[in-house]
Amino acid sequence: MATRSTALEEHPSAQPPGSGRSEERSLLTGSEIVCRALEDEGVETVFGYPGGAVIPLYDALPKAGFHHVLVRFEQWAALAAEGYARATGKPGVCLVTSGPGATNLVTGLADAMLDSIPIIAITGQVIQPLIGRDAFQEVDITGITLPVTKHNYLVNRIEDLAPTIREAFHIATTGRPGPVLIDIPKTLFLQKHPYTPAQTVHRRGYQPTSVPNIRQVRLAANAIATARRPLVMAGHGIMLSGATDLFRQFVEKTGIPVAHTLLGLGSFPESHPLGLGLMGMHGHKHVNDALDECDLLLNIGARFDDRATGQVSGFAPNAFVVHVDVDPAEIGKNVHTDVPVVGDAAEVLRLLIPEVEQEHRDDWLAWIDSRRDRALDEALEERPAWPEPYTIIKAIAEATDGEAVVTTDVGQHQMWAAQHYGFDHPDRWITSGGLGTMGFGLPSAIGAKIGRPDREVWAIIGDGGFQMSCNELATAVQENLDINIAVINNGYLGMVRQWQDLFHAKNYSEVKIGAPDFEKLAEAYGITGITVRTDAEIRPAIDRARAIRGPVLIDFVIEPEANVWPIVPPGAANSGMLHQQRYEG
């Protein structure tokens, strides 16, 4: 090879371009083109699982410039890609075979779609002559995933491969981010074509708005100038936009307190006097009270999800509403909006900050503070003997200085973590908000750790959800990932049990869930397992886990019927939230 290329350079006229051997040399297989295109997008890691339709692509992987992580179930490949994306801000990539491999991705794509996470899914498809004939492992994955992807493609020609991949990354990461799927028939992996690095993307039908209309920004500024009890509803969009620094400037200048949506946690420090923490169904009492009382609600990058708003007619009933969102379809979709501002949060804040006055709002802040529920803090003083969920979360927060990346599964433990970890930084809180996908905790922690090996990663998981994806322990071991897994073990599908407790007369139907001995399970995977049964063991177990390199599992056995407080009953307004009557000690 080497001699031949030297000969060519010395005698460029010996072989005109496009003729014979030189063309042969510049041709890549479809598989190699996929790898090259991914490399050109800066992809470092791909989460995947092989199978018939992608065997030719896997043939090219050993030479590819990125690392392939072999998961144990395709759904977790999608969620690992999400964890990677949420921790790094870069798109995550997953790769699976046709048929069952592809359908196993669907939940992961829906999760990414609802939470606006940029992931790229590559699926193999049966060879072209067999498409449409119910061939072995053929499914219409572009048809199936139409409503759960931002866009999807079935690539028909090898010359379209590289440009399609380029366009897919562009679409996934710009405007309102989201998942994009590329379905590639096996035929194309085997064909050959020259690789031209793809050019900049231009699509007539895709021109997301990023710079807002200055008139709308001024209307927002006017509303702020005249408001007496303004409140910011801080959403995920602030972090998707990379606008946390600008947002902090804005909040500190205007003195407006910040209520966080579940996915907005981390957009503004909770430890800051103006950072209030979680709003909505399981929001803190003073935050939901502030929503009730505010005369201006400035939503930045949140989509007014029903878990955040409660019954819409009772949501922020006295407020003039300003809504900043990059997606025009979110404006007025759920909540009536007085001043829409369509644009990227960072661009909007850049224009808005000079338009607003420096202010202090001591009376308003004092009022909000007076609405805090002190009962919980008091209760926590007299710590019960068994591990109490709030105590566990607070102990992890203390041990990690609030600096860890925390992933969760879905359920009570998720809400306890959201309420009590105290998020001060973006990209540290990784949770499934919109779809509430059980099984999310472990694979997303794997993706997050691979994306940010420099960060400490804690996965806080319920005993139910852990049993959905604990097979990924093998992946964590194979990749030798230093992650800490805290199973909050109540022996129940706790969140469902809580609803049955409160809203279905304690009829505990199918929520008691058995489990293996998690400590032994950990050992079976060759990792350290620790069981914690008393309050006194909490912190030592956490410290031990942190000291061990590689995956560690702590099984926190908690009071089986502990509930998440407060809670807004389904269908009620946030003002109708239920509080803990007395400490269940």
Ligand X SMILES: Cc1ncc(C[n+]2csc(CCOP(=O)(O)OP(=O)(O)O)c2C)c(N)n1
Per CB under 6 A, residues contacting ligand X are 409-413, 436-438, 462-465, 488, 490, 492-496
Residue 448, token pair as written in the block: 């997050």
- Which of the choices Mg ion, another protein, ligand FAD, none does residue 345 contact, using the CB cut-off of 5 to 8 A by kind? ligand FAD
**Residue 17 CB, nearest distance to ligand X (Å)?**
55
* CA pair distance 131, 184, nearest whole angstrom: 11
Is 312 a residue that touches another protein (CB under 8 A)? no
Looking at residue 230, its amino acid is P
* CA pair distance 394, 174, nearest whole angstrom: 36
Looking at residue 285, its amino acid is K
Is 439 a residue that touches ligand FAD (CB under 6 A)? no
- Candidates 114, 407, 115; CA nearest to 240 is 115
SS3 of 522-576: the string is HHHCCCEEEEECCHHHHHHHHHHHHHCCCCEEEEEECCCCCCCCCECCCCCEHHH
Is 343 a residue that touches another protein (CB under 8 A)? yes
- Which of the choices another protein, Mg ion, ligand X, none does residue 151 contact, using the CB cut-off of 5 to 8 A by kind? another protein
Looking at residue 411, its amino acid is G
Cα distances (angstroms) measured from residue 324 to each of 235, 328, 343: 10, 9, 7
Is 264 a residue that touches ligand FAD (CB under 6 A)? yes
- Which of the choices ligand X, another protein, ligand FAD, none does residue 237 contact, using the CB cut-off of 5 to 8 A by kind? ligand FAD
Q: Is 136 a known active-site residue?
A: yes
Only one of the segments 280-288, 394-402, 438-446, 546-554 lies at the binding site for ligand FAD (rule: CB under 6 A); that segment is: 280-288
Is 441 a residue that touches Mg ion (CB under 5 A)? no
List 12, 317, 332, 540, residue binding another protein (CB under 8 A): 332
Whose tokens are 């501002």? That residue is: 341
**Residue 205 CB, nearest distance to ligand FAD (Å)?**
18
Is 236 a residue that touches ligand FAD (CB under 6 A)? yes
- Which of the choices another protein, ligand FAD, ligand X, none does residue 493 contact, using the CB cut-off of 5 to 8 A by kind? ligand X
Q: Which of 15, 137, 249, 580 is catalytic?
A: 137
Alpha-carbon dihedral 102, 107, 112, 113, rounded to 10 degrees? 90
Which residues have CB under 8 Å from 269's CB, separation 6+? Answer: 248, 275, 423, 424, 425
Number of chain positions touching another protein (CB under 8 A): 28
Q: How big is the CA angle at 213 (ends 210 and 215), to the nearest 5 degrees?
A: 155
Q: How big is the CA angle at 432 (ends 565 and 248), to the nearest 5 degrees?
A: 80
CA 252, 366, 395, 583 dihedral sign is: negative
Is 462 a residue that touches Mg ion (CB under 5 A)? yes
Q: Which of 279, 468, 495, 577 is catalytic?
A: 495
Number of chain positions touching Mg ion (CB under 5 A): 6
Q: Given the complex with ligand FAD, which of 100 and 576 has the nearer CB atom?
A: 576
Site string for ligand FAD, 121-160 (x = CB under 6 A): ----------------------------------------
Only one of the segments 64-72, 216-224, 484-492, 537-545 lies at the binding site for Mg ion (rule: CB under 5 A); that segment is: 484-492
- Candidates 469, 486, 511; CA nearest to 416 is 486
Q: Given the complex with ligand X, which of 337 and 563 has the nearer CB atom?
A: 563
Q: Given the complex with another protein, which of 348 and 567 has the nearer CB atom?
A: 348
Q: Given the complex with another protein, which of 195 and 206 has the nearer CB atom?
A: 206
* CA pair distance 211, 56, nearest whole angstrom: 44
- Candidates 288, 37, 327, 10; CA nearest to 155 is 37
- Which of the choices Mg ion, ligand X, ligand FAD, none does residue 409 contact, using the CB cut-off of 5 to 8 A by kind? ligand X
Q: Is 495 a known active-site residue?
A: yes
Q: Which of 39, 128, 136, 584 is catalytic?
A: 136
Q: Is 74 a known active-site residue?
A: yes
Q: Are 168 and 182 in contact (CB under 8 A)?
A: yes
Residue 334, token pair as written in the block: 């759920």
CA terminus-to-terminus distance, the chain: 76
DSSP codes of every residue in 312-350: GGGSSTT-EEEEEES-GGGTTTSS--SEEEES-HHHHHH
Only one of the segments 143-151, 251-259, 274-282, 454-462 lies at the binding site for Mg ion (rule: CB under 5 A); that segment is: 454-462
Residue 181, token pair as written in the block: 């799927």
Q: Given the complex with ligand X, which of 48 and 464 has the nearer CB atom?
A: 464
- Which of the choices Mg ion, ligand X, ligand FAD, none does residue 437 contact, using the CB cut-off of 5 to 8 A by kind? ligand X
- Which of the choices another protein, ligand X, ligand FAD, none does residue 203 contact, using the CB cut-off of 5 to 8 A by kind? another protein
Only one of the segments 323-331, 357-365, 440-448, 513-521 lies at the binding site for ligand FAD (rule: CB under 6 A); that segment is: 323-331
- Candidates 443, 363, 376, 365; CA nearest to 408 is 443
* CA pair distance 109, 321, nearest whole angstrom: 32
Is 51 a residue that touches another protein (CB under 8 A)? no
Q: Which of 32, 138, 186, 423 is catalytic?
A: 186
Q: Which of residues 284-303 bind ligand FAD (CB under 6 A)?
A: 301-303
Which residues have CB under 8 Å from 10's CB, separation 6+? Answer: none
Q: Which of residues 182-221 bind another protein (CB under 8 A)?
A: 203-207, 209, 212-213, 215-216
Q: Given the complex with ligand X, which of 364 and 518 has the nearer CB atom?
A: 518
Looking at residue 251, its amino acid is V
Is 465 a residue that touches Mg ion (CB under 5 A)? no
Q: Which of residues 493-532 bind Mg ion (CB under 5 A)?
A: 494
- Sheet architecture: strand order including 552-557: 429-430, 405-408, 457-462, 483-489, 552-557, 528-532
Element (H, E) at 484: strand 483-489
* Sites of contact with Mg ion (CB under 5 A): 462-464, 490, 492, 494
Catalytic positions are 74, 136-137, 186, 495
Q: Which positions touch another protein (CB under 8 A)? A: 142-143, 146-147, 150-151, 171, 203-207, 209, 212-213, 215-216, 327-329, 331-333, 337, 340-343
Positions that interact with ligand FAD (CB under 6 A): 115-116, 176, 235-237, 240-241, 261-264, 278-283, 301-303, 305, 307-308, 325-327, 330, 344-345, 410, 414-415, 433-434, 436, 495
